[in-house]
Amino acid sequence: MRHAIHKFAMKQGNNPRAALVKMIQGGIVFVFGVLILMVADRVVIASLEQEIMALFGIILAGAGVIWTFVGYFSMSILRIYHMINKKD
């Protein structure tokens, strides 16, 4: 298990371009979730559909935040880990 985590961390820390793409994707998903939340609040009349739409927007925005954090984590912490443990 420990070897698999180490291998995963080394792979993720060696690819900053993929980490940046994850951050951008997460930001886009977050903005889309907030947009759905705003539409549910401002446009849709008060009903169960509005609440379900708002819940979907919150879930989507939360997923975007988590995905952005994964990209940031890959860019910073795992990159440092990769540089420390690199065997050249």
Tokens of 23: 């951050």
Domain ranges across the chain: 16-75
pTM tops 0.75, yes or no: yes
Kindly state the average pLDDT of the residues 64-82.
85
Give the mean pLDDT of the chain. 87
C-alpha to C-alpha distance for 66 and 80, rounded to whole angstroms: 20
Sorted by sequence, the CB contacts under 8 Å of residue 6 that are 6+ apart come out as 85
Question: Cα dist. 62→25, 46, 47, 77 in Å?
Answer: 13, 23, 23, 21
Q: Note the pLDDT of residue 87.
A: 67
Q: In this predicted structure, what is the pLDDT of residue 88?
A: 53
Taking only the tens place, the pLDDT of each residue in 22-45 is 999 999 999 999 999 999 999 999
